[in-house]
Structure 1
Amino acid sequence: TERIWTSKLIIKPKPSVCEKVCYRRLGCFSDNPPWAAIPGRFLAGLPDSPESMNISFTLYTKETRNNSQVISAIHSSTIKDSYFCSHRKTRFIVHGYMSTGKRGWVVEMCLLLVEVEDVNCIAVDWADGAKGIYISAVNNIRVVGAEIAYFINTLRKMFQYYPSHIHIIGHSLGAHAAGDAGRRIRGIKRITGLDPAGPFFEGTPPKVRLDPTDARFVDVIHSNAAQFPTVGFGMVNTTGHLDFYPNGGSLMPGCDDTLNFVSTDANSPICHHSRSHQFYFQSILYPNGFLGYPCRTYEFFQSGLCFPCPREGCPMMGHYADQYPAKLEKINQKYFLNTGAHPPFTSNHRISIKLSGTKKVRGELNIVFHGTDGFTKQYKIICGHLHQGSIYTKYVNVEINPRYITKVEFLWNKNILTLLWARLGAEMVHIISEEDGHGLCVAHIPLSATYQCLFASPLNSPHSRVSVHPPSLGPASPSMPVSL
């Protein structure tokens, strides 16, 4: 037997017998290679009928408000009598395994989209085909893709509505269903893959999975990519024009990495897998909150070797990725970024602190930024055992651009028992805007004449506050050590 994802999904492989099944309107589906009997897809299988899956399309527009309208390409009068507008763009949202399009994140995303844009948002529900044994759901996405393509063809016949007005957003198996629709209907403007499912798709031919050729522009967010022996639900390999790997694309902050295949809370891999659509949702609200950097690996990115953005700029992960001018220059472009652990997840400034002193100490260090408009905000940077000479890096969503910071305050809280022997200070503080590379350096010694760094006294009292006023700000030098 082979175990897929959860202890409940035990299936017995069977050899391919080259069978096929045909469904009216949608055509025929076979289990010939590459659909089965190839590495990564040894199990043969045919999709269920569209009727048994009860596939449905639900329309949301600004006119429907919090309500919706079920529309059908089979009964096209439901489309004609709905609030579907042929002058608007249309965004389809397709859920994945063990999910639904009638509630939860799919509906929430449609409601948000029609609130901030004048669009048609269509939630695709195939919950009856997405439950049960995982391999059955894998087979069923071909029919889901065919149904989406049939729906788009119906729109074209009714309104001369072309694929260039359509964007399909798919999560997990839904990402590959979107790719299947794109292979059937050429010219779709955009497909967004939200952590495309990995099992039975990783390493397979492009015909089987989401691929850059499935739409004019394909962008992908990887949030649970993993290869054996690590367990993950998503794909490691690139599958689009722009592939984003937030936090490395495998394990997300705020989700425990403990393996728990049954729970849906933060201890479950499902938490990491779901982060992709949560990131996309927040990117609609925060257009500048998820800047991705071109980089070879996440390790290179963490070391600071891929910072700041190149001359052509950097794309935004999520909803506004299509605004990146260089998005179509090549395929399989990798981009990395870090996010927060909790909504809104945005993290667009990097703060690095190098500690000075003679001993380690247990304590907490916070930084307060003061802006030109009087705005102030405090951030916790370090908490726990601190070591002199170590560099601590924190990614935060700082509302103040470093160019407009007028004062930086260090709030130091030490364990009272360490007061007599611990002497620890901030040797260097470096704050960089990830969007344009502008930065601020604060240190107790000048690192070079170029940086114009200012003096910051050691923090010796239990609750000391050191204020420093920055010099004129400019782009951060690539030679400045900004992280470990």
Structure 2
Amino acid sequence: MMIFWWFLALLLGSVEIYRAHECDVFTYLDLYHAIIGTSLYVKLLLYTRANLTCGQELSHHNLSAQPQFNLTKPTTFVVHGYRPTGAPPNWLNNIIEQLLARGDMNVLVVDWNRGAANINYLKVVTYSRDTADNLTAFIRNMQENGASLSSIHMIGLSLGAHITGFVGAKFNGKIGRITAVDPAGPQFNGKPPEDRLDPTDAQFVDVVHTDMDAFGFRKPLGHIDFYANGGADQPGCPLTILSGSGYFKCDHQRSVLLYLGSLNRTCNIRAFPCTSYTDFLDGLCMDCDQFKPAGCPVFGYDIIEWKDSLVPLQQTKAFFTTNKQTPYCKTSYWVDIVTWNHDTRWGYITIKLHNGSEVTEATINHKASSFKKYSETRLLAQFEKDLQKVHKISIKFSRVNAFKPKYKLRVLRIRLTHLERKDRPLCRYDILLEDNREVTFRSIPCEESNF
């Protein structure tokens, strides 16, 4: 008899453990569903440090039904965008994991795949308003149960970015933060603020643009708008339609990869406030004295540390360049060159830094640079990686017109200065650069008089 009761208790305990470990998952659909169309249904999946890999669907009305939903903790909503194939976002698990690694919070994945999965994009746009209304009602319920609007962070991707804006507007901009990851452009470009995301939708709105010439939004939408590689074509993405679907989605999806890199601190990407990408590449926007002592803003999750400086400025555009793949961050140097050719020379400069077996390269070719006799030409060089100790430097000069006679660039002095580290600049004197031929020399700290 005792064995029977022991077995029954064990069985019941096993059932409870099984129930406790049942997970709710993101809605999986396929192209068939997108073709026939889907009706909107919004599902909220809760993840915390206690259930990092096991989502729990929340009741929209009875918040106490899920005890792991702690309203005294910050809450981050993750809102996906248009899903033309119905498949779940491949970045979802990564962003959940990285957010919870950053802080003890509630992560709510807003699963509106039933609605977002539809080949009729215009229909999905109308569902975005309904999704926002659904979230607004849920957040009001959170408020009534003691949650603070200031502790809410909404991360919206593509069409999801405008959904977060619609929600924020309903609360008169009192939500703590909205992050827009390449907000959708089609059906939103040219629309007034009430029909899209804008800076008044939250206490702080940060935006990244990577595909503004296709699926993304062109103009600034936040307190700070980051334009990666100018905001359009991303390095490493296909350049022709012959590459297949990657040609259409690579630039747009790069925004997510960049944001994930900021979350996991793969590297810090410094951005430089500027009026245009061209001025940034020309090195005209490297002064960040207005942001002292923090310095130039860091792209991504940690930009919140610059909130107090950025909000009074209302809208700031900031630019940075990246590598083709992770780690995406580049390292910036000033390159100051003084020449002594009698005639002005026009051309492009390529520089390599060597450290034992490591080499990193920067090509300054967005436009031809002019070199005048005894005048200092300042260039911005952005290297693929940061070498802590530079042993040798290689430099190559290429003229603008390959059909014209070759000529030489006589360099009186070249000086390289790391933009972030306080290293002593590296100098070299009296170099003769023949057209399209690389010259390598040992790096030497500049003399005190050359600072």
Do both proteins adopt the same fold according to a TM-score greater than 0.5, normalized to the shorter chain?
yes
1:107-146 residue CA offsets vs partner (Å, 9 max, x unmatched): 3111111123222111111112112211111111101111
SS of residue matched to 2:39 = helix
Question: TM-score scaled by structure 1?
Answer: 0.69
8 A Cα contact 1:52 1:129, kept in partner: yes
5+ unaligned residues in a row in structure 1: which ranges?
1-50, 227-231, 359-363, 371-375, 414-420, 446-455, 478-484
8 A Cα contact 2:335 2:414, kept in partner: yes
How far off is 1:212 after superposition? 0.7
Aligned in 2, Cα 1:214/1:383: closer, same or farther, shift over 3 Å? closer
Corresponding residue of 2:359: 378
1:210-237 residue CA offsets vs partner (Å, 9 max, x unmatched): 01111111111111112xxxxx111111
8 A Cα contact 2:364 2:380, kept in partner: no
How far off is 1:301 after superposition? 0.9
Q: How does 1:196-345 map onto structure 2 within 5 Å?
A: 196-226=183-213, 232-259=214-241, 263-265=244-246, 267-268=247-248, 270-286=249-265, 289-312=268-291, 313-324=295-306, 325-345=308-328
Picking from 346, 349, 353, the partner of 2:332 is: 349
Whole-angstrom CA distance in 1 between matches of 2:89 and 2:226: 27
Aligned in 2, Cα 1:428/1:144: closer, same or farther, shift over 3 Å? farther
Corresponding residue of 1:193: 180
The residue identity in structure 2 corresponding to 1:241 is: H
How far off is 1:465 after superposition? 5.6
Corresponding residue of 1:120: 106
Aligned in 2, Cα 1:412/1:218: closer, same or farther, shift over 3 Å? closer
Aligned in 2, Cα 1:174/1:311: closer, same or farther, shift over 3 Å? same
Q: Does 1:72 align with 2:54?
A: no
8 A Cα contact 1:412 1:459, kept in partner: no
1:197-219 residue CA offsets vs partner (Å, 9 max, x unmatched): 11111111111100111111111
Corresponding residue of 1:450: none
8 A Cα contact 2:362 2:384, kept in partner: no
Structure with the bigger percentage of helix: 2
1:312-332 residue CA offsets vs partner (Å, 9 max, x unmatched): 232222111111131211322
Corresponding residue of 1:466: 441
Whole-angstrom CA distance in 1 between matches of 2:140 and 2:87: 21
Whole-angstrom CA distance in 2 between matches of 1:334 and 1:382: 24
How far off is 1:257 after superposition? 3.2
Corresponding residue of 1:165: 151
Picking from 138, 145, 149, the partner of 2:132 is: 145
Aligned in 2, Cα 1:382/1:223: closer, same or farther, shift over 3 Å? closer
Whole-angstrom CA distance in 2 between matches of 1:94 and 1:101: 15
8 A Cα contact 1:308 1:437, kept in partner: no
The residue identity in structure 1 corresponding to 2:252 is: H
Picking from 64, 69, 79, the partner of 1:84 is: 69
CA RMSD of aligned residues (A): 3.9
How far off is 1:151 after superposition? 1.8
Percent sequence identity over aligned pairs: 27
Larger mean CA deviation between 234-243 and 308-317 belongs to 308-317
Aligned in 2, Cα 1:66/1:459: closer, same or farther, shift over 3 Å? farther
Whole-angstrom CA distance in 2 between matches of 1:86 and 1:293: 37
